[in-house]
Amino acid sequence: MEPQGVYFGCTATLAHNNLPLGSITLFRERTAGDFTDTELAILLEIARHASLALANLYPRGIKLTQTEDTNHLNAFITEHNIQPREAEVMRLMLDGKTNKQMANELFISESTVKKHVNAIYRKLGVSNRLGLMTATQNIPR
């Protein structure tokens, strides 16, 4: 890539629990010199933090075909008359979030989360999270 003025490069892979999440690549001109050990250590620390943040946002990873999978889940949501806010709660439940985590993420009270959770259970004919997982187990996510 020297025609673009790029001579040196380094990449850090973003992953968590063997789940690939992305990468960070840096380039540098020849005149700037190669990356130092200190700079590489900083990049690895940034990659570690970014990996943890992405793993929190995408516990099952980032799929290239999320649109198709999302369509299956959206059809399931529509079929069961799950309202938009309930759908948000359901997606977070499927990601393994606790009621407290969902409340914080959605900026609502835990009491409101519980109301949405109970509405979801009622509409799906289940009584707990295991029932929710069973009801949705064949939907690609």
Res 62: pLDDT = 66
Report pTM: 0.53
Q: Average pLDDT in the 19-35 region?
A: 88
* Percent with pLDDT over 70 in the chain: 89
Mean pLDDT score across all residues of the chain: 86
Give the other-Cβ count within 10 Å of 73's Cβ.
18
pLDDT digits (tens, 9 = 90+) for 37-54: 999 999 999 999 999 998
Residues 6 or more apart whose CB falls under 8 angstroms from that of 38 comprise none
Res 131: pLDDT = 87
**Domain 66-136, second-level architecture:** Orthogonal Bundle (1.10)
- Residue 112 CA to residue 105 CA, distance in Å, equals 13
pLDDT digits (tens, 9 = 90+) for 99-112: 999 999 899 999 99
* Percent with pLDDT over 90 in the chain: 50
In this model, does residue 66 exceed pLDDT 50? no
- For the chain, the structural domain boundaries read 2-57, 66-136
Q: Average pLDDT in the 18-27 region?
A: 84
Task: Tell me the pLDDT band of 15, cut-offs 50, 70 and 90.
Answer: confident
